[in-house]
């Protein structure tokens, strides 16, 4: 159940305790993980770490006590969460999370791998304006049209391959796949699925969202702990550079078999083709 008035007071008084997360948003980079976390934080029974802890990939040597200390205090019945999108592509992460708690619920926000790659490139470009063009990074050899799968922007989108690694440690039913596209077109619907998966009452509904035409995606009417409307920051919803259509087509063809495999593995058609 929720934290009533007494519960809120207990939290204000620094009561409640820090717990290891029962649910983790493990991926994917540029899929819509920040949006999902901010939307979920509207729920009174969700407590989440704001920053990405990167525990299971970069900080594992620091140990579980260090990780747990990063967590917010929670009351009985509240869920502790964190998000680090790079976990999905980290070889060691599944075994490490499983050894923390076999029952940890995992959430992966996925998005069309081609758009995701362009978004990834756009983010890098905003930090390093002098990087090579998207086209030149995509191909090992432009003439043969061989795609450079070692480039992380391409590599991350081969979801089926990464998922196989997770399925060695977790049953598929313990992983929820959220559509990044549906989070834009129907945020309340996707959030409904997430709340069900987490065993939460469906408190977040379409009443919580409004569509921001300038940004091109949904925003919250009231953010967590505030009465003001809240959209994600300036770094979200960047305009993507124009990519040569022929290159986009080559990438669509490249990803298609992997996407089909992913649809089969998850039992969901994400409609990317």
The separation between CA 266 and the C-alpha centre of its own chain, rounded to angstroms, equals 16
Instruction: Phi first, then psi: give them for residue 213, nearest 5 degrees.
Output: -65, -35
Torsion of CA 145, 149, 152, 154, to 10 degrees: 60
CATH number of 19-266: 3.40.50.300
Angle (CA) 62 68 74, round 5°: 170
CB 108, CB 33: distance < 8 Å: no
End-to-end CA distance of the chain: 41
Distance CA 176, CA 193 (A): 9
Mean pLDDT by 10 residues, the chain (273 residues): 68 87 98 96 96 98 98 96 98 98 98 98 96 96 93 98 98 98 96 98 94 87 76 81 95 98 98 94
Point out the catalytic residue in the list 30, 127, 215, 234.
30
Sequence ranges of the domains in the chain: 19-266
Res 97: pLDDT: 99
DSSP 8-state class, residue 61:
G
The separation between CA 155 and the C-alpha centre of its own chain, rounded to angstroms, equals 16
105 in active site: no
Q: What is the pTM of this model?
A: 0.93
Distance CA 196, CA 80 (A): 16
Distance CA 150, CA 249 (A): 19
Res 264: pLDDT: 98
> Which pair of structure tokens corresponds to residue 138?
């995509």
Q: Which residues are annotated as a binding site for 3'-phosphoadenylyl sulfate?
A: 30-34, 111, 119, 236-240
Res 4: pLDDT: 65
Q: How many CA atoms lie within 13 A of 188 on its CB side?
A: 12
Distance CA 231, CA 154 (A): 28
Task: Please count the residues of the chain.
Answer: 273
Angle (CA) 25 28 29, round 5°: 115
């Amino acid at each position: 159940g929720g934290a009533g008035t007494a519960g809120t007071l207990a939290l204000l008084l620094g009561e409640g305790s820090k717990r290891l997360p029962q649910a983790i948003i493990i991926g994917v980079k540029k899929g819509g993980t920040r949006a999902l976390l901010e939307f979920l934080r509207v729920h009174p029974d969700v407590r989440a770490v704001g920053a990405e802890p990167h525990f299971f990939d970069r900080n594992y040597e620091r140990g579980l006590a260090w990780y747990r200390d990063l967590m917010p205090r929670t009351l009985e019945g509240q869920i502790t969460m964190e998000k680090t999108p790079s976990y999905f592509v980290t070889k060691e992460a599944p075994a490490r999370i499983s050894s923390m708690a076999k029952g940890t619920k995992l959430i992966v926000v996925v998005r069309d791998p081609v758009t995701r790659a362009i978004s990834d490139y756009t983010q890098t470009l905003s930090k390093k304006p002098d990087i090579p063009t998207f086209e030149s990074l995509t191909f090992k050899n432009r003439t043969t049209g061989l795609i450079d799968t070692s480039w992380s922007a391409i590599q991350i989108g081969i979801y089926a391959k990464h998922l196989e690694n997770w399925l060695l440690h977790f049953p598929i039913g313990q992983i929820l796949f959220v559509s990044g596209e549906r989070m834009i077109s129907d945020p309340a619907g996707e959030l409904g699925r997430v709340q069900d998966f987490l065993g939460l009452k469906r408190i977040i509904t379409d009443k919580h969202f409004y569509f921001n035409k300038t940004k091109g995606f949904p925003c919250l009417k009231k953010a967590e702990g505030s009465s003001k409307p809240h959209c994600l920051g300036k770094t979200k919803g960047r305009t993507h550079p124009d990519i040569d259509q022929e290159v986009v087509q080559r990438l669509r063809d490249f990803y298609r078999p992997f996407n089909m495999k992913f649809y089969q593995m998850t039992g969901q058609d994400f409609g990317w083709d």
